[in-house]
Structure 1
């Protein structure tokens, strides 16, 4: 018998407020055409003033539990991937734990910026394989609209708010790549690239700060590293790009998504794309795309998926799973 961490349910939540590119034209020196051409983004969602990251995460969690046919009392562990937690402490995860009525088990946050969900998924898989947990609720949630510099048109138009969640469950497999569940993961980081994507503030600096990004450098690293980590995860499982049904990438920029797919030798009709409607939701983007992809009827049971992401740190990685 081989133990696998299988997807039992998926869900997402988006704030009610939709901000079209044309609305941003009144805030900053930009245009709908400029944003679409450079990023593929057409609109994004912004959290209401009274909404916080844990609120978005809790609603996504409840949607995933409903999809799984489970209750919060069935969950052993809860992980929230986020860079925009409500407070310095406690963790957003413990706040979500309280909001959904999960009084057992344990909860914690993971911070790897846009790669956070991939890191959280890999961590949840390890906990299931080690026997620490049978069911893990893995959430990516962000309110990046709160850390935008609205004088910097190169970054403020790219990001949005949202949350997505998966329920992973321990199940028996055959030990082959036909098994449902996580088949391989591949994680990396390199702190020498800190200055190309970061927030210029934090707790110990006594300043909240704003997101800063060297767009051209991020683009170059993203295309190279995302394709490489996806190939690495496939190689670990003894599979290749031709075996992949869907790439579900971090939804940062349509040009990055297209370039990465091209490097992998895959057509765009095998890529789940949601960036046009959500913008870059950082750690929330992959679970959001998984949930939307399932709703659209794209992702079906038995499909082989590659999820990959890169974020500040730099931190990047991928997870290969069969739905």
Structure 2
């Protein structure tokens, strides 16, 4: 009988930056900037030539998102009203890049938890929203730093990058082209966020995650069988980032609002929630899984209200924190890493046979589902 390769999640890893910014700190900084801007432009504002900026509040942020704090790689510069962007020492081309550095840290934890050595791994996929450079691939740099003899490449599907990476890794396993694949998602979102925009400056945080996808034949006794995956994309401009010289950025326009993260939040909410909920239900039916019987949902950590509605449509009732755990409150939106953080922190308590769902959704629009079952 021909052997069928079965992909599983053997382990996950997480790197969390040491520094964190609370909503109170963020609002104090932002409102100070608003006061300085309005004072400096008082005459133009009075003449109707410049729009007066409005202050933010802790209540506004928490009602809009559910976020209470977020981790960042460079706190002081973000809160400095003269900068309001991350700053760190530039590294030479012969030094490990900051994005690879945090990706390696998350990857090493995943390998350690699975009892793996670098030589056991065949491939590295760097699946993330906010790449540090076009090339050479971040994945190859991470591969080199870990000492893995194989191949690597980058992939970007915005906030769905990790789930798209997991399906890609699973497909390599199913085809017999690899036995062990690291999906690494280093998300330094602070470098692409407009910290001077009242409607979005509070959204993102920095982090790195890693998922080790392997053939069940070599997996540790306790692992997660990947029951099925489904990916979906529908083009939309409602979430966009124009960063890059190809969009004719100049020294005068580099880093300005139109080159950074922007979104039409209300449109995203209205359009993405039903799309993702229906996608989950349809895929569960295809896999002959009772969606309402799922033990846990590890949803994309973008917005508490979106997750609440999606979980309710899937489970048929208001989800408890146990059924749909949240890390959004302390991590913020960490793009593709969000659902993986939730899975990493809230999966060990499940029993053998329990089924769950890792799901992401974001710009594109893009959405990915990974149905899993606990083994061992």
With structure 2 as the length reference, what TM-score do the two structures score?
0.79
Matched, 1:38 2:91: no
What is the distance in 2 between the residues matched to 1:8 and 1:317? Answer: 19
* 1:224-243 aligned within 5 A: 224-243=274-293
Contact 1:10 1:63 in 2 (8 A): yes
What is the distance in 2 between the residues matched to 1:99 and 1:172? Answer: 27
What is the distance in 2 between the residues matched to 1:155 and 1:100? Answer: 35
Matched, 1:316 2:367: yes
What is the distance in 1 between the residues matched to 2:279 and 2:349? Answer: 23
Question: Given the alignment, which residue of 319, 329, 336 partners 1:283?
Answer: 336
What is the distance in 2 between the residues matched to 1:47 and 1:101? Answer: 25
> RMSD between aligned alpha carbons?
1.9
Higher relative contact order at CA 8 Å, sep ≥6: structure 1 or structure 2? Answer: 1
Q: 1:298 to 1:256 in 2, by over 3 A?
A: farther
Contact 1:27 1:150 in 2 (8 A): no
Q: How many pairs are equivalent?
A: 313
Structure 1, unpaired ranges of 5+: 174-178
Give the Å deviation of 1:108: 0.9
Question: Given the alignment, which residue of 283, 286, 298 partners 1:248?
Answer: 298
Give the Å deviation of 1:299: 4.1
- Which string of whole-angstrom CA distances, capped at 9 and with x for unpartnered residues, describes residues 168-217 of structure 1? 110259xxxxx9511111111122x1x20001232422436200100001
Question: Given the alignment, which residue of 199, 202, 205 partners 1:154?
Answer: 199
Alignment partner, residue 302 of structure 1: 353
Alignment partner, residue 186 of structure 1: 230
Structure 2, unpaired ranges of 5+: 31-54, 75-87, 90-96, 250-254
Moved more, 229-238 or 277-286: 229-238
Alignment partner, residue 112 of structure 2: 66
Alignment partner, residue 201 of structure 1: 243
Contact 1:19 1:43 in 2 (8 A): yes
What is the distance in 2 between the residues matched to 1:56 and 1:305? Answer: 28
Contact 1:88 1:203 in 2 (8 A): no
Moved more, 64-73 or 225-234: 225-234
What is the distance in 2 between the residues matched to 1:91 and 1:287? Answer: 22
Contact 1:164 1:286 in 2 (8 A): no
Contact 1:13 1:56 in 2 (8 A): yes
Give the Å deviation of 1:73: 1.3
Contact 1:54 1:85 in 2 (8 A): no
Larger Rg: 2
What is the distance in 2 between the residues matched to 1:123 and 1:300? Answer: 27
Alignment partner, residue 130 of structure 2: 84
